[in-house]
Amino acid sequence: MDLDFVTKLVKKNNSKIVLILLDGLGGLPIEEDGFTELETANTPNLDNLAKKGICGLQNPIENGITPGSGPGHLGIFGYEPKKYQVGRGVLASNGIDFNLEEGDVAARGNFATINEEGKINDRRAGRISSEKNKELCEMLCEKIKLQGVELFVKTVKEHRFLLVLRGKGLSGDLYDTDPQEIGKRPFEPKGFSNNTEKTVSIVSDFLRQAKEVLKNEHPANMVLLRGFSQKPNWPSFPDVFGLKSAAIACYPMYRGLAKLIGMDLLETGETIEDEFKTLENSWDKYDFFFLHVKKTDSYGEDGNFDAKVNVIEQVDKLIPNVTKLNPDVIIVTGDHSTPSILKSHSWHPVPILINSKYCRPDNVDKFGERNCITGGLGANFPAVNIMPLAMANALRLDKHGA
Amino acid sequence: MDLDFVTKLVKKNNSKIVLILLDGLGGLPIEEDGFTELETANTPNLDNLAKKGICGLQNPIENGITPGSGPGHLGIFGYEPKKYQVGRGVLASNGIDFNLEEGDVAARGNFATINEEGKINDRRAGRISSEKNKELCEMLCEKIKLQGVELFVKTVKEHRFLLVLRGKGLSGDLYDTDPQEIGKRPFEPKGFSNNTEKTVSIVSDFLRQAKEVLKNEHPANMVLLRGFSQKPNWPSFPDVFGLKSAAIACYPMYRGLAKLIGMDLLETGETIEDEFKTLENSWDKYDFFFLHVKKTDSYGEDGNFDAKVNVIEQVDKLIPNVTKLNPDVIIVTGDHSTPSILKSHSWHPVPILINSKYCRPDNVDKFGERNCITGGLGANFPAVNIMPLAMANALRLDKHGA
């Protein structure tokens, strides 16, 4: 759905919408005829929300397409993920609160290990410590001289860093230099649109000098770059939906995404309890809350079925802390599936429940993948329509046409 | 679906398609875990059609979007409602059988009450009688002199009238002057595209003179205008689908819509029985019948659950009068939902059944919202695909491609 189309219909009232996003929520059974992580979890509170609400499976992008975290979230926020694309560089800069200026080019970097032939042995340089990373970033910044641009190299975490080039006439339309494969040489920088020559030449120069500076820093003796990008000029979420909006997330990536679309970032702690506590404490100040739970995805990626089940149960126990606040609309879903058996994001549609006074009841009384297939939202609900539907349930949309 | 795409595949035969449209059909339970209006209604005949046909929930525009009557109908007729937008002015002119010419600008007017400060006290001037309205329209027509355009002011009903300006170089791209809020002054006319200056100046002149003419006519001492628009140049329904098409509707708005897309308007009476009788009487003359039942929506808007149930049951009793004619395809659906509990149009998808010899059976044996979720058409069937599917069931579409 076009954001413009929705924005024209927006009206304001005092209703509140809560989006509880369990990252990588959807799963798969590990045994034939077995249950998924969500189906296995004991979730009386989510089941109760499902029973009184409307359920379904939502499709983050399109059938068969596995979303990264960026597109997975953007879709749910109403931003068509194939139209609103954001590079890893920009996301990384948001994640560490680096203030990207218009025209800056950002890229996500990895410290990596190459052998004498220049081929990659380890794309993550043995996951060096963040302290070591910081030391190396400072060294790169200090020793590398680039003509006509200002250089920033900032630590993200472990082997990850942020590269920013600031200057005139730069472009973000460069391919990754990270081949994402061991035994290969890093790619030479290369543009995929017009007017990338200047940036390509500066990045080549940066890489040449970085290799020289790092030559005695084994295992971190090389850098790989991906996600070259520039700050996008998107409509802000609070403007689009007329919602004073807060993000409660502890991971930089998701804070970055929320910031990118103009949500306020609330300070919160490291645990899920902390996040729910933050929601309660800020209840009066916002119309919309995005509460992000990371560990469902992390354990999925680790292949740890039981731990993922456990996180879902932890969230379930905290649901009454939200329902007692009487939100007008509660949405529970994920940005994509991360089945433990695959140890990665997947293309499977994601269970969703929407609970409000005005949901038309369906026959789903348990929140799980199989049950959601026959929910009122259907088995293939477009993620970008979640926000419009939530807005409708909050009675925040006028009708279209006479 | 593109109308062009369908038209290329159209072939003719002697089959007949009947669309029975219960305005605002979809509903909601009034009690938790209760039934909707349609689920409550005793509908043995509709259930029988559902059992032998295919069911689902259709989505008039997009998830979460509440359709006005115009878009709600246009979608079902196959016209993508976000592409084919029609203003209130044009609809009003159609509704009272005013023959709009190409280039005319039409607007829907309200007689309203303003106070000494010029602020609106009542947007409907106490719903003056249609007789009084007629008197005022004639007075406005007679006394107002506009340069270079011909003026028409025609009674619609109660406080509602139609304004038409006829002349060269006019534009329909004007904002409403009706602020739709009490205590505000009417807006000055203003255009939202190029080349609106002439029209803006004429409308301003009209309003200035109308205020003068009406100054002693309290409560109808001002006019508010909305939905400035010009007759659209759309493909006609009979041409698009190759169907000789008749509309059976007693309300002006729906007669207007049907006329706008080129259907023949059949004379009919005020009751649902009259409408079904008209269908029978004209059976041999048309390929396609659109039969519109208004009261389901009216009672929904009134919040009268039981009366809405009753209208559905009335329609059910008349279904055998249609089935005995052996139509090849029967479609039963609504243009949107109007849950009594909301007293307004809503975003909820609308139950639909399609009955033909060639429907693939599903497991739905009762026509109701919950049952339709698991019908063969799914829970999110796009309204614009209803006509192509009906055409297919009437064996009136060739295959696409070799």
Closest chain B residue to the Cα of A384, Cα to Cα = B63
In this prediction, residue B87 carries a pLDDT of: 87
- Kindly determine whether residue B347 and residue A389, on different chains, have CB atoms separated by under 8 Å: yes
Distances (CA, A) of A22 to A331, A356, A384, B43: 11, 19, 17, 43
Complex ipTM above 0.90?
A: no
- Kindly determine whether residue B346 and residue A362, on different chains, have CB atoms separated by under 8 Å: no
Q: Of B63, B70, B227, which has the smallest distance from its Cβ to A388's Cβ?
A: B63
Helix B386-393, helix B69-76: angle, nearest 10: 30
- Kindly determine whether residue B81 and residue A1, on different chains, have CB atoms separated by under 8 Å: no
**Which residues of B lie closer than 8 Å to A, measured between beta carbons?**
26, 28-29, 32-33, 36, 57, 61-72, 81-82, 85-88, 91, 108, 227, 339, 341-342, 344-348, 369-370, 373-374, 378-380
| Residue ranges of chain A with per-residue pLDDT less than 70 | none
CA distance linking residue A60 with residue A336, whole number of Å: 6
- Kindly determine whether residue A362 and residue B373, on different chains, have CB atoms separated by under 8 Å: yes
Q: Which of A2, A355, A360 to mutate to test the interface with B (most CBs of B within 10 A)?
A: A360
Q: Which of B35, B162, B380, B381 to mutate to test the interface with A (most CBs of A within 10 A)?
A: B380
In this prediction, residue B168 carries a pLDDT of: 95
Q: Are A333 and A307 in contact (CB under 8 A)?
A: no
In this prediction, residue A32 carries a pLDDT of: 87
B72: which chain A residues are within 8 Å (Cβ-Cβ)? 401
Percent of chain B past pLDDT 70, that is, above it, reads 100
* Tokens 């398609």 found at: B17
Per-residue buried b or exposed e for A375-386, using 16+ beta carbons within 10 Å of the residue's own CB: bbbbbbbbbbbb
B88: which chain A residues are within 8 Å (Cβ-Cβ)? 402
Closest chain B residue to the Cα of A391, Cα to Cα = B64
Q: Per-residue confidence at B367, pLDDT binned at 50, 70, 90?
A: very high
CA distance linking residue B69 with residue B254, whole number of Å: 8
CA distance linking residue A85 with residue A90, whole number of Å: 10
| Shortest Cα distance, chain B CAs vs residue A37, angstroms | 25
In this prediction, residue A247 carries a pLDDT of: 98
In this prediction, residue B251 carries a pLDDT of: 86
Q: Are A181 and A120 in contact (CB under 8 A)?
A: yes
Closest chain A residue to the Cα of B336, Cα to Cα = A399
pLDDT surpassing 80 at residue B219: yes
Q: Of B26, B347, B374, which has the smallest distance from its Cβ to A374's Cβ?
A: B374
B45: number of CA atoms within 13 Å, CB side? 15
A401: which chain B residues are within 8 Å (Cβ-Cβ)? 67-72, 81, 85-86
Interface A:B, Cβ pairs < 8 A? 100
> Which residues does A4 contact at the CB level (< 8 Å), separation at least 6?
none
pLDDT surpassing 80 at residue B291: yes
Q: Which of A6, A11, A399 to mutate to test the interface with B (most CBs of B within 10 A)?
A: A399
A391: which chain B residues are within 8 Å (Cβ-Cβ)? 64
Beta bridge partner(s), residue A18: A289, A330
Q: Per-residue confidence at B97, pLDDT binned at 50, 70, 90?
A: confident
Cα angle B354-B397-B368, degrees, rounded to a multiple of 5: 10
In this prediction, residue A334 carries a pLDDT of: 98
Q: Per-residue confidence at B309, pLDDT binned at 50, 70, 90?
A: very high
- Kindly determine whether residue A402 and residue B91, on different chains, have CB atoms separated by under 8 Å: yes
Closest chain B residue to the Cα of A390, Cα to Cα = B64
Predicted structure pTM score: 0.87
CA distance linking residue B138 with residue B152, whole number of Å: 9
Region B112-123 average pLDDT = 96
The model's pLDDT over A119-168, given as tens digits with 9 standing for 90+, comes to 999 999 999 999 999 999 999 999 999 999 999 999 998 999 999 999 99
Closest chain A residue to the Cα of B71, Cα to Cα = A401
Region B255-268 average pLDDT = 93
Enter the DSSP assignment of A297: H
- Kindly determine whether residue B66 and residue A392, on different chains, have CB atoms separated by under 8 Å: yes
In this prediction, residue B252 carries a pLDDT of: 82
- Kindly determine whether residue B347 and residue A382, on different chains, have CB atoms separated by under 8 Å: no
Beta bridge partner(s), residue B229: B106
Per-residue buried b or exposed e for A130-144, using 16+ beta carbons within 10 Å of the residue's own CB: eebbeebbeebeeeb
In this prediction, residue A48 carries a pLDDT of: 98
| Shortest Cα distance, chain B CAs vs residue A267, angstroms | 32
In this prediction, residue B147 carries a pLDDT of: 92
The model's pLDDT over B24-34, given as tens digits with 9 standing for 90+, comes to 999 999 998 89
| Shortest Cα distance, chain B CAs vs residue A8, angstroms | 11
Q: Of A5, A387, A392, which has the smallest distance from its Cβ to B347's Cβ?
A: A392
- Kindly determine whether residue A392 and residue B68, on different chains, have CB atoms separated by under 8 Å: no
- Cis bond upstream, residue A44 (ω within 30): no
In this prediction, residue A91 carries a pLDDT of: 86
In this prediction, residue B96 carries a pLDDT of: 86
Q: Which of B23, B373, B374 to mutate to test the interface with A (most CBs of A within 10 A)?
A: B373
| Shortest Cα distance, chain B CAs vs residue A361, angstroms | 7
In this prediction, residue B116 carries a pLDDT of: 94
